[in-house]
Structure 1
């Protein structure tokens, strides 16, 4: 079976991404975007948090926040 990005199902399960957790200051593979900073016409930025930090600091991922 091929997924929409061209990988077979087994390869898709092995694909991992990582990001910097802004709370514990380290790399993690469970990071989710929890805040977006916009500064007028300047480039926007965002803060990511790992699963343990989201639980510890009661952070809600942007994708799960109400509109």
Structure 2
């Protein structure tokens, strides 16, 4: 019997990013965002908050 695995599109792990908000105190906000636009709408840059994109493989910001 031959098992056939479904075709799954390969995604380069270097392109997998998570959007987060870094608060003014340097901590990350305790919530997730579906998009950079959603994070930017939630963040308060006037209070020192920043939107970052973190690579899920190496945890480095972009």
Q: What is the TM-score of this pair, normalised by structure 1?
A: 0.26
Decide which structure has greater strand share.
1
Say which structure, 1 or 2, has more relative contact order (CA 8 Å, 6+ apart): 2
Length-normalised TM-score, structure 2: 0.28
